Amino acid sequence: MRGEGICSYNTKRDLNLDVVFKPLVEFVNAHAKLYWEALGYNKHMRPEVYEMWANIYKQQSFIEMHNHSPIHMTASFYLQHPTSGGNIVFEHPNATLLKHQPYDFDQIRYTAFEQEIAVTSGTLVIFPGYMNHKTQPNMSSEDRIIIGSNICNVV
């Protein structure tokens, strides 16, 4: 986390075990199952929230490009997303290769390898854990709050 934001991943990543978060865990699990099937992942496996944490993005705070590999899937639930709160941005999975090809960068911006996803309060974004992603800075004076989840096959 950059700026004055707070990320509980290193201190409290078991929110999924707290009864208060049970409805959210069930919501994420239901959508994770649908996405798992849409990706064509092994139908004999059962995806469930493995870890859950909170990020509070104060004004100007953001997270740099990263991924959650080897986690199967990751989810971000936008509990609070103010206007000008910033969005999530995904990097094209082949960006490392494409960046070194002889593209005319006067015609193609470097950000052509990135895709911004507009979010609002209540949005759930689920994506493969190997996807590089980052968040834009929160330009609002209100906090942006997300509940993050890592989703894996549960034996």
Neighbouring CB atoms inside 10 A of 148's CB total 20
Strand, helix or coil for residue 22: helix
What is residue 94's predicted lDDT score, i.e. its pLDDT?
Answer: 81
Q: Which residues of the chain have pLDDT under 70?
A: 105-112, 155
Domain ranges of the chain: 6-153
DSSP tag of 149: E
Q: Which two tokens stand for residue 82?
A: 């103010």
Sheet with 144-153, edge to edge strand ranges? 6-7, 47-57, 144-153, 73-80, 124-128
| CATH architecture of the domain covering 6-153 | Sandwich (2.60)
